[in-house]
Amino acid sequence: MPHPLFSHALKVLGTLAVLIALATPAAEAATPKRAIVKKHHVTKVTSSKKSVTSRKRVKVVVGGKRRGAVLAVVPAKPSFGQLAGLQASHDALDLKSSVALVIDQDTKEVLFSKNEQAVLPIASLTKLMTGLIINSAKLPMDESIMVTQDDVDTEKWSRSRLKVGTELTRGELLHLALMSSENRAAHALGRTYPGGMATFVRLMNDRARLLGMKDTVYVEPTGLSSHNQSSARDLATLVNAAYADPVLRELSTSTGYQVAVGSRTLQFNNTNRLVKNPDWDIGLQKTGYISEAGQCLVMQTKIAGRKLIMVFLDSAGKLSRLGDAERVRRWVESTPMADHKINISTSAKPNAG
């Protein structure tokens, strides 16, 4: 028979165990605290010829309390050009873009060609067609348009300084779309077009066919969708058509623009730094980027007395497309006019499937 003191001790310990169990939440007792990722944002993008990686700062919460942030390296999504093997193509000018085309605007002579028939996503180069449709419709440019939730990017979740509820004129939205590649501005222009977005996109495709752009298709006015696709040859045609519009020339090459938003004034700048470079005489330009398209650039410019149209698609880095433009400029300036012709082409035509 157990000693009375021993029995009493067992009862005390049992009571303590019950009290501890009741005081401890079941979930915490059963499992250790877990680190929960709440949200993240891109802090830095690094690139090389072979690969592109993103560093993302991740906010971590443990047991309901924020425990700081850590950097995580996320492999970049390969572009369509990479998947098709176009970046393995080499050329005499050592361009970093998978696709390139340089045409004499007056004679239509092809001076440089690299994978010009490849059909790829074109990102914000789309906005040149958006601008062409808007300005040719002769809509009132002083009409006020409000940015709504419908204009928020749910494709790439890109940021915008134009908050929902912002009111700007159609002319201001067009300026921001062409100069700063403002996605909400471009979407609002299409959304408020007479007949709505479906009508606007149909007109974009109709204009492409009218211009002879056989490789081109549009599904929306911003370029955020990888289903907006074209070839370098078609894009050269678009640049030529857009250049004929003095409004598009002026807005796309504007170096900076301010808009009043409520009590604030927002400063926007051109996405192409070459427009500020005195070595360049640029008549029209547009940049573009989504991961599927890589870094893109189209320009109309004058070099060594010649009016040229340049197209660069699927460049590995943001500065590489500008570097390619500089390489072409130096080549044209240093080469006799009769020798201005290099053709490196493939018949690759990757598409969105």
| Domain CATH number, residue 159 | 3.40.710.10
| Three-class secondary structure of residue 39 per DSSP | strand
Does residue 61 sit in the same domain as residue 101? Answer: no
The winner for highest mean pLDDT among 32-41, 70-79, 238-247 is 238-247
pLDDT for position 11: 57
* 292 neighbors 121 (Cβ within 8 angstroms): yes
pLDDT for position 50: 41
> Where is the domain boundary, 61, 76, 91?
76
Q: In which residue are the tokens 């979407």 written?
A: 187
Q: In which residue are the tokens 């623009």 written?
A: 257
Residue 29 belongs to a domain:
no
pLDDT for position 89: 87
**pTM confidence score:** 0.77
Does residue 136 sit in the same domain as residue 60? Answer: no
Does residue 134 sit in the same domain as residue 119? Answer: yes
Q: What is the mean pLDDT of the chain?
A: 84
Residue 4 belongs to a domain:
no
Give Cα 314 distance to the centre of its chain.
12
pLDDT for position 197: 98
Does residue 121 sit in the same domain as residue 265? Answer: yes
Residue 325 belongs to a domain:
yes
Return the amino acid letter for 247. Answer: V
> Where is the domain boundary, 48, 76, 104?
76
Return the amino acid letter for 166. Answer: T
* 45 neighbors 295 (Cβ within 8 angstroms): no
- Which conformational region is residue 181 in: left (phi greater than 0), alpha (psi within -120 to 50 degrees), or beta? left
Residue 120 belongs to a domain:
yes
Does residue 139 sit in the same domain as residue 275? Answer: yes
Cα angle, residue 266 at apex, residues 264 and 270 outer, rounded to 5°: 175
Q: Which residues contact 20 (CB under 8 A, 6 or more apart)?
A: none
Return the amino acid letter for 126. Answer: T
Does residue 264 sit in the same domain as residue 277? Answer: yes
Give Cα 339 distance to the centre of its chain.
35
Residues identified as active-site:
124, 127, 181
Is the pLDDT reported for residue 101 higher than 70?
yes
Does residue 63 sit in the same domain as residue 104? Answer: no
> Where is the domain boundary, 47, 76, 105?
76
Tokens of 202: 């149909």
Does residue 96 sit in the same domain as residue 160? Answer: yes
Tokens of 37: 């990722």
Compute the distance between CA of residue 173 and CA of residue 170 in angstroms, rounded to an integer: 5
User: Regarding predicted confidence, which is higher, 331 or 74?
Assistant: 331
* 248 neighbors 82 (Cβ within 8 angstroms): no
Does residue 131 sit in the same domain as residue 259? Answer: yes
Residue 11 belongs to a domain:
no
Does residue 168 sit in the same domain as residue 282? Answer: yes
Cα angle, residue 125 at apex, residues 214 and 149 outer, rounded to 5°: 115
| Three-class secondary structure of residue 233 per DSSP | helix
* 188-218 residue pLDDT tens: 999 999 999 999 999 999 999 999 999 999 9
Neighbour tally for 264: CB within 10 Å: 8
Residues 147-167: what's their mean pLDDT?
95
Residues 322-338: what's their mean pLDDT?
89
Residue 53 belongs to a domain:
yes
How many folded domains does the chain comprise? 2
Residue 24 belongs to a domain:
no
Does residue 207 sit in the same domain as residue 323? Answer: yes
Does residue 49 sit in the same domain as residue 181? Answer: no
Phi (first) and psi of residue 339, to 5 degrees: -100, 5
Residues 109-131: what's their mean pLDDT?
97
Q: In which residue are the tokens 């605007």 written?
A: 105
Residue 27 belongs to a domain:
no
Q: Write out the residue range of the structural domain in which residue 155 sits.
A: 80-344
